[in-house]
Structure 1
C-alpha cells in the first residue's frame, strides 16, 4: 500500500526526472494564498507610487526648464503633457494578450459584470480627454507665470478639492483630520497669494502672477474632479479588474487631449513661432527636442502611476501620494532654478506638509479600524483593508 502511494506521488517526467505532484499542488496553493495575493498587491502599489512620484517631479522640473531656456508656447507645453501616450502601446499589447487577463474577464462575466457599451466608453474617453486638455492648459499657464516652488505649493490644494469631490462622488468620509487638512492647505495657498508681490524674480508683472495663481488653483480643482470621476467610472461603468483598463483610461483620453492641443496650437497661431523658438533655445535645438520628448515620457509615467493607484486603492489615496512631491519639487527648484524661499513661502510649505500629514494620519486610523474589523470576523476584503 505504501508503495502505491509513493508511485502516485512520484511521477517520471519525459526527461527522466522525478516530479513530486504533491509539491506542485502545494506551490499552486501557496500562489493563491491570501498572504501571497497581499504581497502582490503591495508590490503593484509600490511600483505605482514610484511611477507617480518620479514622473511627476521630473515632468514638473522639465516643464520649468522649457520655459527658462526660451520656450514660450503654452499649447506646446500642454501638448507634451498628453502626447507621450504611444509609449504605452507595447504595455497594452502585452497585458491584452495575457491569459490571466482573459481568465479574469471570464470570472467577471460569471459575476454578472458585463462590459460597458462602446458608445458609453467613447463618451467617457472624449469627456476625460477634453477635461485633461483644459486642465493641462491651466497648469501650463501656472508654470509659466509662477516660480516653480510657488507653483508646487499651490498644486497641493488639489488634495483639499479632491476630499470635497470624493465626499460627493465616491462616498469618502469627511473627518476632522480631513477638514483640518483642507483648512491648512487653504491657508497655505492664501499666504502665497498675499505674497505675490515678492515674486519678482521671474521678471513678470503682478497681473501675470495673479493669472498664474488662479490658473494653478483652477487646474488643481479640475484635476481633483477628474480623479474622482475616473474612480467613479472604474466602479460604476467599466467594472473590470485588469491592468488593461488602466492603460485604456490613460491612452484614449490622452489621444483626445493631444488632438485638442494640436487644434489649439494651430488656432492660436503658436505653431508659426515653433521653428524660431527651437533655434533660439538657449541650450540648442537638440536640447529643445529632448526636453519636450522627456517631458512627454515622464508625464505618461506619472499618469500610469496615478491611474494605477486609483484602480488599486482610491482617487483620494492617489492624490495623497501625488502630494508627496510637495516638499521634493520646491527643494529641487531652489537647487536647479535658484528659486527664492522667503519666510512666507517657508510657512506656507510647513502648513501644506502639516495638511498632508493630517491626511496620512486619517489613512492610518482607517487602516487600523479595518484590520480590527477583519480580526473580529466581519469579512472585510483585502481591498477594503488597504483602502483608507
Structure 2
C-alpha cells in the first residue's frame, strides 16, 4: 500500500476518495525547503532503505574484488586506469530488463516542448557520462599513485564540494541535522586512512603530486555527478510526471544510469584502446595466479557490483537528495575497510581503533540524516491529509 497526500484546503470529497494506480510508483521526496522543485510529500522508506543496501553491497563487493584482482596480479602499478573506469559502467545492459519491466504498460504524460526536453536530456546524459568516465579514471589513478591513507583523506573533500554545489545548482537549503550528518560523515572519511588497498604503490612508484591532484579532482567530479543527476530529476523527471495521478517512477533511475553509462563506456573503451591496455589484459589473464576462470569472474564481478552500487547511489538522489547519496557512499568506507582485513588479512593491517571509531561516526551520520527524514514525515502528516491507494 502506498500513500499520496493532498492539501487540507481541498474539498471533503477529495479527502475521502480512493484511487487505484496503474503501477507501484514512488513519491518524490526531499527535506523540507531543500528545493522548490519537489513536492513536500512523505519519504518513501522502502526505496531509501533498498537504495542504501544496494550502495553497501555494491561498493563492498566491488572493492573486495578489486583488491583480489590487484593482489593476484602482484599490484600492477600505473596501468589499468581505463580498465577500472570501464568496469564501473560497462555492465549497464543488465539494467535494461528492470528498466523495461518498470516502464511496461506505463502511459507517459504529455510533455510540453518535447523536442526541447529530449535535447536537454541528451546533452545532460552526455555530460553525466563524461563525468562518470573521468571520475573512474581519476579515482583509480589516485589510488595507484598515492598511498591509500593520503588518497582517502583527499577524496573525502567531496563532502565539502557536494553541499556547496547542491546549494548553487540544486538550490538546497540545510538544517542542523543535515549539517550534523555531514560532520560525522567527514569524520568517518578522515578516520578511514588506515584502510588497505591491494594495488597501493611502493615507494619507488609513488607520485604524490599527481596522485593528490587525481584524488582531489575525482572527488569534485563525483560531487558534480550527483548534483547533475539531481538536476535531471528536479528539472525534467519530476516535472514530466507533475500530476495528481502520476508520480515519478523508479524507472527514471535506470534511465539515467543506462544512457549515461553508455556514454561513459564508449569513452573508457576508446581510452583503453588508445592506451593499449587490451594487451595488458591478455597477459594478465594468462599469468593470473588463480587461473583464467577466476580472473574473468573477478572482472565480471566488479562490473556487476558497480552497477548495483550506482543503482543505490542514483536511487538515493531520486528518493532524497545528492547530499544523502554522498553521505551514504562515504560512510560505507569503514565497512569495506573491515571486510578487506577479514578477507585478505594484510600483514600490516588490522581492525584497529580508527576503524572502530569510523564505524561509530558512520552510524551517527546515518542516524542524524534519517532522524531528519523521520521528522519530515511526522511534520508533513500534520499538514497533509492522506489518500489511500490500492
What TM-score bracket applies, with the shorter chain setting the length? 0.7 to 0.9
* Residue 69 of structure 2 corresponds to residue 62 of structure 1: no
CA contact (8 A) 1:152 1:326 kept: no
Gaps of 5+ in 2: 1-16, 28-41, 241-247
* Residue 74 of structure 2 corresponds to residue 44 of structure 1: no
SS of the equivalent of 1:173 reads coil
The verdict on how the C-alpha distance between 1:37 and 1:255 changes in structure 2, with shifts beyond 3 A counting, is: closer
CA contact (8 A) 2:147 2:206 kept: no
Q: 1:213 deviation in Å?
A: 4.4
The verdict on how the C-alpha distance between 1:66 and 1:270 changes in structure 2, with shifts beyond 3 A counting, is: same
Please give the root-mean-square deviation of Cα atoms over the aligned residues, in Å.
Answer: 3.8
CA contact (8 A) 2:143 2:151 kept: yes
The verdict on how the C-alpha distance between 1:123 and 1:229 changes in structure 2, with shifts beyond 3 A counting, is: same
The total of aligned residue pairs comes to 339
Quote the residue 2:159 is aligned against: 159
CA contact (8 A) 1:182 1:355 kept: no
Distance 2:253 2:116 in 1: 15
1:311 to 304, 318, 329: 318
Distance 1:139 1:380 in 2: 47
Equivalences for residues 1-388 of structure 1 within 5 A = 29=18, 41-70=44-73, 72-97=79-104, 99=105, 101-102=106-107, 105-106=108-109, 109=110, 117-145=117-145, 155-175=155-175, 179=179, 202-205=201-204, 207-208=206-207, 211-238=210-237, 239-240=239-240, 241-339=248-346, 340-341=348-349, 346-347=353-354, 350=357, 354=361, 357-358=364-365, 360-365=367-372, 367-368=374-375, 371-372=378-379, 374-375=381-382, 378-379=383-384
CA contact (8 A) 1:278 1:284 kept: yes
Gaps of 5+ in 1: 1-27, 383-388
CA contact (8 A) 1:181 1:356 kept: no
Q: 1:163 deviation in Å?
A: 2.0
Distance 2:137 2:336 in 1: 20
Distance 2:85 2:310 in 1: 14
The verdict on how the C-alpha distance between 1:148 and 1:65 changes in structure 2, with shifts beyond 3 A counting, is: farther
CA contact (8 A) 1:85 1:254 kept: yes
The verdict on how the C-alpha distance between 1:330 and 1:211 changes in structure 2, with shifts beyond 3 A counting, is: farther
Q: 1:215 deviation in Å?
A: 2.4
Q: TM-score, normalised by structure 2?
A: 0.73
Quote the residue 2:14 is aligned against: none
Deviates more, 1:283-292 or 1:239-248: 239-248
Q: TM-score, normalised by structure 1?
A: 0.73
Q: 1:175 deviation in Å?
A: 4.4
Q: 1:176 deviation in Å?
A: 5.1
Query: Greater helix percent: which structure?
Result: 1
Distance 1:144 1:76 in 2: 13
The verdict on how the C-alpha distance between 1:37 and 1:131 changes in structure 2, with shifts beyond 3 A counting, is: closer
Q: 1:172 deviation in Å?
A: 2.7
CA contact (8 A) 1:129 1:255 kept: yes
Distance 2:113 2:316 in 1: 22
- Quick check: which has more Rg, 1 or 2? 1
The verdict on how the C-alpha distance between 1:210 and 1:119 changes in structure 2, with shifts beyond 3 A counting, is: same
